[in-house]
Amino acid sequence: MTETTALDAAHRADRRNAWIARGVLALGVAALVLTMVMRVRRDDGRDVGTVLVVAALVVAVSVISMVAMGSSTRRRNTTVRALRGGSEVVEVWGAAGLRDALTAEGVTDPPVRARQGTALTMTITTEGLELWAGASLPQKVHAIAWSDVERVAEGAGVVANDGAKPAVVVVTRAGNGLVLLPARNPAGSLRTAALPQVRAFVGRLEALRAAAA
């Protein structure tokens, strides 16, 4: 099985897992609401309708936030793909600490969060990498030629408060490590890629770097 075939199979599995996760989430929300209703019924001092409305609002806000983030990702990727025709476009999460690394690279006020992950678009060519942020009008954050990359290594990075996850570390010749976590789905995902995907991605980027040396 080729690397591309393996990645495609992994992406299909990820989509199936995503639908399963959505189903589990929906069941969990339904169970939570039913539990709240049962508790309220045992307490005559509470208003069942109010509790249901609050629960519905919480679910609605969560869904709207996810849809908005997905829409923003699609707009950014579509725009970047149009601007960089011929480039491979991949969604990544910039790990906490990326802002400091970019600043050390000479990027003035990089538009990434200092202590949390930032959704970014990465373009990949035989010449190098680019990182883009934003939505409808994405901004190029940084461009790195392969000649300026010392190596691409496997590492770990933090995006949220759920611990370190497998990451790609682009080590520049200036000595800075840009820690990036590929999205579980290259087109965009709230979840980051699992170790096998990250390892394959690291290998592919390192091969491009070595070929350009």
CB 157 within 8 A of CB 151: no
Question: How far apart are the C-alpha atoms of 177 and 62, rounded to whole Å?
Answer: 33
pLDDT tens-digit map of 40-99: 555 555 555 555 555 554 444 444 444 444 456 777 888 898 888 888 999 999 999 999
Q: Between 91 and 135, whose confidence is greater?
A: 91
Map out the domains of the chain with their CATH numbers: 3-212 (2.30.29.30)
CA 17 to chain centre: 16
Rounded to 5°, angle at Cα 202 from 196 and 203: 90
- Kindly tell me if the per-residue pLDDT of 202 is higher than 80: yes
- Kindly tell me if the per-residue pLDDT of 201 is higher than 70: yes
Collapse the DSSP code of 8 into the 3-class scheme (helix H, G, I; strand E, B; otherwise coil) and give the result. helix
Write the burial class of residue 9 (CB in 10 Å: 0-12 exposed, 13-18 middle, 19+ buried).
exposed
Nearest CA-CA partner of 110 in 83, 138, 140 = 140
- Calculated CA dihedral for residues 59, 61, 62, 63, nearest 10 degrees: 90
Write the burial class of residue 78 (CB in 10 Å: 0-12 exposed, 13-18 middle, 19+ buried).
middle
Token pair, residue 140, equals 């190029």
Question: How far apart are the C-alpha atoms of 185 and 106, rounded to whole Å?
Answer: 30
